[in-house]
Structure 1
Amino acid sequence: MNTSSPAPIPDLHALLAFYAEAGVDEALNDVPINHFEKPSPPIPAKHVQPRRNMPLPPMAPQPARPTTQPVAVPDGQQVALAQKLAANAATLEELREHMMQFNGCNLKATAKNLVFADGNPQAGLMIIGEAPGRDEDMEGKPFVGRAGQFLDQILAAIGLDRSQVYMANVIPWRPPGNREPTPQETEICRPFIERQIELVAPKVLVHLGGVSAKTLLNTTEGILRLRGNWHVYNGLSGVDIPAMPTLHPAYLLRAPAHKRLAWRDFLEIKMKLRALS
């Protein structure tokens, strides 16, 4: 009977180190490597055949890159151009065409579509948001995403639908990443939305969110202080329009506790429309 103890297991780290020092640096090779053989001497330069200059194959003609008109960063000159184009638009369709051709706002470079408007331009209620989101940019219409669907529910609660309102945004091009538009971007787009309001001539304006309210009511107060109170929008033609700032549907989806505030605002809007009809 064999009572001898089993052979000790070698240290794997030590074994691998031994193999590396011995030159065993590959697990498998087709040809054995003699690490004790001296390297072959270099070939003398006179035996090296010089390389001949071989002609390169002709390159295929590269397609010409499409030229795009550069989009300008908003400045005083572009604001003046926007004012001129907006003033020369006699109809909403002409205004849309002028905005399509306008390249004075940097947001146009990253947006897919111009988001002009939706709804009935003969309606007594005009709703103005801040800027398009991803869904609006894809479809070219305002308020078609999740926040827009919630807005449809709010309108239905006061007996209205999209055929009875007109919708637009202060900014017609989507800011990258749905960021808030800068004051420069807002200023460059202001002439277009002001002319749009003048052409629609609504009885009541609703400003959704702080950007819309601050831009068109010329105020610096936050939307939570502005909402729930009637203000006056001074139109370009000298006609004053009652305006109600309220919370944006996208904000209400993030802060559902404030839905009750927006509900009060829309009840006020319903009563104002009834009084003016």
Structure 2
Amino acid sequence: MDQNRTAALEKMAEEVRNLRESPLYEYRQAHNYAMVFGEGSPHAAIMFIGEAPGQTEAKTGRPFVGAAGRLLNDLLSSIGLNREAVYITNIVKDRPPENRDPTPAEIQLYQPFLLRQIELIQPQVIATLGRFAMDFVLNQFNLPEQGQKISVLHGKLLQAQTSYGPISVVPLFHPAVALYTRDKEATLRNDFQVLKQFTEQS
């Protein structure tokens, strides 16, 4: 099963790599960036979803590296996990210029790949990193909490329905925000403990 999932993810990554209709494809090629598909366990109980890769991610082809990634690693360690036990990805798989927010057209283009990742990995909980990813997931699963602010929903255990059954959704502040705001880091560390109940199943 692991080999099948891994092979399917690799095949999907190749599709995204060759997605010439993406408005970010030329930007990636011009700057010699890598597409950032995602990484981690193909049978992870916990999937982390961010917005889009930054420059460091685009240079390495890996999600959440650099300072924000180091904080994420530390947070994972605080609940007894490492990156290999979870799956980490973004809505958009290519870096937008100057780290701007992805456009609706870009999101629409990459969205099917993220949904296929979710269907393939079948996580029991999706942890969204930042407001953008939270809004996307709440809307995608048509949760009643749509439209609420992350300042209200962070750390809460929300319930969603997928084709493979019920899952939990936990909105979290983005690690990059926590790096520059000490109280946000303390909040993020505290909110991470909500995920601990899922670690035995990872």
The normalised TM-score by structure 1 is 0.63
Query: Greater RCO between the two (CA within 8 Å, min separation 6)?
Result: 2
Q: Distance in 1 between matches of 2:94 and 2:158?
A: 27
Tell me the residue number matched to 1:197.
Answer: 118
Q: 1:233 to 1:173 in 2, by over 3 A?
A: farther
Give the partner amino acid of 2:183: A
- The answer as to whether partners of 1:105 and 1:188 remain within 8 angstroms in 2 is yes
CA contact (8 A) 1:216 1:233 kept: no
Q: CA–CA distance in 1 between the matches of 2:196 and 2:49?
A: 16
User: Aligned residues, how many?
Assistant: 186
Q: Secondary structure in 1 aligned to 2:24?
A: helix
Contact 2:79 2:199 in 1 (8 A): no
Of residues 68, 72, 77 in structure 2, which corresponds to 1:151?
A: 72
Residues 1:156 and 1:238: Cα distance change in structure 2 (over 3 Å): closer
Distance 1:207 1:220, change over 3 A: same
Q: Deviations over 1:158-178 (max 9, x none)?
A: 111111111111110001111
Cα drift, residue 238 of structure 1? 4.6
Greater share of residues in strand:
2
Which residue in the other structure is 2:92 paired with?
A: 171
1:189, distance to aligned residue in structure 2 (A): 1.4
Structure of higher CA gyration radius: 1
5+ unaligned residues in a row in structure 1: which ranges? 1-89
**1:142 aligned counterpart, secondary structure:** coil
TM (norm. structure 2) is: 0.85
Q: Partner amino acid for 1:177?
A: E
- Partner in structure 1 of residue 82 of structure 2: 161
SS of 2:136's partner is: helix
Q: Distance in 2 between matches of 1:182 and 1:222?
A: 20
Provide closer, same or farther for how the CA distance between residues 262 and 145 of structure 1 changes in structure 2, counting only shifts above 3 A. Answer: same
CA–CA distance in 1 between the matches of 2:186 and 2:123? Answer: 26
The aligned counterpart of 1:133 is 54
Alignment-derived partner of residue 96 in structure 1:
13
- Tell me the secondary structure at the aligned position of residue 106 of structure 1: coil
Q: CA RMSD in A?
A: 1.7
Question: Percent of pairs identical after alignment?
Answer: 38
Match runs of 1:246-261 below 5 Å:
246-261=172-187
Superposed, 1:102-117 pairs within 5 Å as 102-111=19-28, 112-117=33-38
Partner amino acid for 2:165? V
Report the CA distance between 1:138 and its aligned residue.
0.2
